[in-house]
Structures are given as structure tokens and as C-alpha cells.
Amino acid sequence: MPTRAGTPSDLMRVGDKITIRVSGTPDPSNIAEIQIPQSGDITVDLLSGTFHAAGRSPADLAADISAAYRDQKIYTNATVVVLPEERYINVGGDVRQPSRVIFTADSTVMSAINASGGFDEYANRRQVRVIRGSQVFNVDCVKAASDPGADPQVFPGDQIYVPRTIL
């Protein structure tokens, strides 16, 4: 099935936990909690076949599941909602409260650091490291504080590490 356009942060990934709620059926407690496996494909109760979830938006997947219930003549008026579990960004090093920060679509390096209490007095604000999978890049947060264009967006699973200045 074609995937609707979405930003990378909106799309579900392998390992994400999702809740599928089906209403408008004789079974009012039709809820499934699923972790998207390595294959990216999930199965749904009563339906034959699999649904590719990884790389798709929750709304797109919900529409396909709802259509499958109708096409397979299981439920005619099923309303399907797919709810992804919260995702996090990890912030550590020389910040006041190293922590996992809840990801939002507008999360940036500076907003994640601020959500962790901000820099402590020993932080090297010019060499903040962002780790995204096997990619690592540095951000100059002194520049980012005065130029929003220099404050990059972060994504779920990113790790932000604020090193200590050399005294």
C-alpha cells in the first residue's frame, strides 16, 4: 500500500510499541498492544494477512486495517485508531538533570537540553554531541541560542551528550 507523506518523526519504526483500538464492533474491548517486529509487519486479530507498519503514519495504518475489516466482511462499521507509544530523546553529560525527554515534533537540541534543566556551570556549550544511530555530529549551542537556524531538530532515539569544558 502507498504511504502518505509524513515527516520522519511521524512515521512508525521497528521496535515502536503501538496500541490498536477498534470500536463500532460487538466486542467493545477490542484493543491490541503490539511492538513492531524487525520485519516491520504486524498481524491483527481476525484479519488474514499482515500489515506493514514500519515507515508509515499511524493514520495510514489505521485506514488500511479498517478497510481490511470491511473487505474481509468481518466488521462493516469498524473505526480503527492506531496510537504510538511515547518516544524519547536521551540527554546526558553536563546538564542539570540528565534524563529521557519526551519527543515532540518540534524538538530541537536546545529544547531537549532546556527540558533537562539546562546546562550546568561546567558544560562545553560549543561541542554538544548528537548521536543518531551510527551518525555523530556536534552542535554549537552558543550559536544556536542566538540563531534558531543553527538549532537542529532531533528525533526519537537521539542521544544528546554535553561534554565538560577543560578547566
Residues 24-83 have pLDDT tens digits of 888 877 899 999 999 999 999 899 999 999 999 999 999 999 999 999 999 988 899 999
* Per-residue pLDDT at 93 exceeds 90: yes
pLDDT value for 3: 41
Q: Which of 43, 59, 84 is the last residue of a domain?
A: 84
Phi, psi of 89 (to 5 degrees): -120, 135
Query: Does the residue 52 lie in any domain?
Result: yes
Same domain, 65 and 92: no
Same domain, 92 and 158: yes
Classify residue 113 by burial, with Cβ atoms within 10 Å: 0-12, 13-18, 19+.
Answer: buried
- Among 120, 119, 115, 122, CA closest to 141: 119
Query: Does the residue 3 lie in any domain?
Result: no
What is the domain extent for residue 21? 17-84
Tell me the whole-structure pTM to 2 decimals: 0.68
Q: Which of 27, 49, 84 is the last residue of a domain?
A: 84
Domains in the chain, number:
2
Cβ-contact 145, 118 below 8 angstroms: no
- Among 44, 42, 41, CA closest to 31: 44
